[in-house]
């Protein structure tokens, strides 16, 4: 069993981004990310703080907009429009979930696709589907980096994704497919899930249920990637995979915390750098 160290891989990605940002800085170009949070979801607050911290680490400016939970959809749309027009802001990230009275799709659709560093806008989702994308879907792209770290080539492998969200499951399947994996998407209505997952050379769990993937569901030697970020009864952060039960059987496995989480943020930094380069006409 080998543990894939997301902290190490994310540090490498961030140091590459920092070097490139410094080169832009020498040309008088600064990189800026606007982070918008509405309401006081504690998990969102932690994510937003981590994103701002990462900006500081790589030498980006970050601009936080913390709005009260009662913010109307129109007020949020007005802020997004203002940020779309703000030259200092290269990337816009609106932390999800939004309060129930705000239509998330309406907000995502209002973000300029050139500043959509989450790659959530339908234009960018379409680019990902086609395979000619500039912005990486952050979490799935982070997973691809972790798989690459194992040295295992995705080409021809049986890849199974559990979960079909727009943020993780669907773009994850696309990235694996672009690398010529044989991809199966599974979800809550999949029949006999364990019989599917136990065929997986590469298993990506993005379910949102603590300890959902148990040892009987994995193939011996599989690469097991855990996208889950759950709190157990004691409030401890834990993944979708029963790590202790699976770690001996898996060939490679990611821990939670310290696996996929840090990668998502590193990829967000990479996207923000890409946005700044494109907006300043210096994309190679």
Q: If DSSP codes are grouped into helix, strand and coil, which group holds residue 97?
A: coil
Q: Determine if 118 is a binding residue for ligand GUN (CB under 6 A).
A: yes
In angstroms, rounded to a whole number, what is the distance separating the alpha carbons of residues 193 and 264?
A: 27
Query: What stretch of H or E contains 63?
Result: strand 61-67
What letter does residue 58 receive in the DSSP assignment?
Answer: H
Q: Determine if 62 is a binding residue for ligand GUN (CB under 6 A).
A: no
Q: Residue 67 CA to chain centroid, in angstroms?
A: 23
Which of residues 124 and 139 has its CB atom nearest to ligand GUN in the complex? 139
Binding mask 149-188 for ligand GUN (x = CB under 6 A): ------------------x---------------------
**Minimum distance of ligand GUN from residue 22's CB (angstroms):** 26
**Minimum distance of ligand GUN from residue 25's CB (angstroms):** 26
* Cα angle 229-178-116, degrees, rounded to a multiple of 5: 60
Contact 180, 144 (CB under 8 A): no
How far CA 224 is from CA of 26, 80, 161, 231, 234, in Å, comes to 41, 37, 10, 20, 25
**Minimum distance of ligand GUN from residue 135's CB (angstroms):** 12
Which of residues 139 and 254 has its CB atom nearest to ligand GUN in the complex? 139
What number of chain residues touch ligand GUN (CB under 6 A)? 9
Residues 221-250 that bind ligand GUN (CB under 6 A): none
Which of residues 229 and 241 has its CB atom nearest to ligand GUN in the complex? 229
Residues with a known catalytic role = 51, 95, 118
In angstroms, rounded to a whole number, what is the distance separating the alpha carbons of residues 210 and 102?
A: 28
Residues 75-94 that bind ligand GUN (CB under 6 A): 93-94
Which of residues 10 and 95 has its CB atom nearest to ligand GUN in the complex? 95
What are 267's two structure tokens? 């990829």
Binding site for ligand GUN (CB under 6 A): 93-96, 118, 138-139, 167, 264
């Amino acid at each position: 069993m080998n543990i894939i160290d997301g902290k190490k891989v994310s540090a490498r990605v961030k140091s590459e981004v920092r070097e490139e940002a410094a080169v832009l800085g020498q040309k008088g170009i600064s990189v800026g990310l606007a982070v918008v949070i509405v309401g006081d979801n504690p998990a969102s607050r932690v994510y937003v703080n981590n994103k701002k911290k990462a900006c500081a680490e790589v030498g980006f400016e970050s601009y936080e907009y913390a709005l009260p939970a009662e913010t109307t959809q129109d007020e949020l749309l007005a802020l997004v429009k203002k940020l779309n027009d703000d030259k200092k802001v290269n990337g816009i990230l609106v932390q999800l979930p939004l309060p129930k009275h705000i239509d998330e799709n309406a907000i995502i659709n209002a973000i300029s696709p050139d500043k959509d560093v989450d790659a959530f806008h339908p234009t960018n989702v379409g680019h990902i589907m086609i395979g000619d994308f500039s912005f990486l879907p952050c979490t799935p792209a982070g997973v691809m980096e972790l798989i690459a770290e194992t040295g295992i080539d995705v080409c021809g492998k049986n890849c199974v994704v559990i979960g079909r969200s727009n943020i993780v499951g669907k773009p994850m399947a696309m990235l694996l497919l672009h690398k010529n994996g044989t991809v199966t998407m599974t979800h809550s209505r999949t029949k006999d899930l364990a019989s599917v997952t136990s065929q997986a050379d590469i298993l990506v769990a993005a379910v949102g249920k603590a300890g959902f993937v148990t040892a009987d569901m994995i193939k011996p030697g599989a690469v097991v990637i855990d996208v889950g970020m759950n709190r157990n009864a004691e409030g401890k952060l834990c993944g979708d995979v029963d790590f202790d039960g699976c770690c001996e059987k898996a060939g490679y496995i990611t821990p939670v915390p310290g696996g996929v989480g840090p990668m998502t943020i590193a990829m967000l930094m990479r996207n923000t750098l890409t946005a700044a380069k494109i907006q300043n006409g210096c994309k190679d």
